[in-house]
Copies of this chain bind each other. A is one copy, B any other.
Amino acid sequence: MSFKRTNPLALAVLALLSEQPLHPYEMAQTMRERHQEEVIKLNYGSLYTVVEQLHRHELITAAATQKAGNRPERTVYAITDTGTAELHDWLRELIAIPAKEYPRFEAGISMVGLLPPDDALTVVEQRCTAVDEQLAALAVLLEKLAGMGLPQLAWIELDYRMAMLRAERAWLTWFANATRDGTVGGYDHWEDRHR
């Protein structure tokens, strides 16, 4: 069976190995240093599974199995040519074709009618605050990264996330206002149901 592009962690592994050979634990460390764990979920269990998977499909090879002292042997992996091809192709797909995702908030807001209007208003306002905080934190981080002399391209995903968060905040503000003054379509019925 051919390789399945499920876990983006596999993509991160390919990307790291496209620079230099590494053993799994080093991959994890590098991801941490570069704040990649912010965009790609990392945990050890998955990492080793994913590496084994890539190995099975010969997208990476075991370049060396060192043994220092009494430690368990570390297998250093390197990317193969098919691996590089896979990396680029997967990357193109990931960007070009929007994946069907299921954000938790969409699920939640789709059922907001089940809560009484005043409860709904409260929680929406809470989220608005939380989003504001995330925006502030992001702004600080961007400032820092730019100050370190890193080019915009190095933190382009944060730029994107910031744009998305701003849009969410705007929407939340609108919805909160519309709920507060009862102008959201269907408000009367909504209020009626909860008394």
Interface residues in chain A, defined as those with a beta carbon under 8 Å from any beta carbon in chain B: 8, 11-12, 15, 18, 36, 39-41, 87-88, 91-92, 94-99, 101-115, 119-120, 122-124, 126-127, 130-131, 134, 151-154, 156-157, 159-161, 163-164, 166-168, 170-171, 175, 184-187, 189-190
Shortest Cβ gap from A127 to chain B (Å): 5
Q: How many copies does the complex hold?
A: 2
Instruction: Determine if A161 and B106 form an interchain contact, defined as CB atoms under 8 angstroms apart.
Output: yes
Residue on B nearest A120 in the bound complex, by CB: B95
A6 to B163 CA separation, bound complex (whole angstroms): 28
Instruction: Determine if A123 and B187 form an interchain contact, defined as CB atoms under 8 angstroms apart.
Output: no
Give 18 new A-B contacts, CB below 8 A, not counting A88-B119, A92-B123, A109-B156. A39-B107, A39-B110, A91-B108, A94-B107, A95-B124, A95-B126, A95-B127, A96-B123, A96-B130, A101-B101, A101-B103, A109-B160, A151-B186, A152-B186, A156-B184, A159-B171, A160-B171, A163-B171
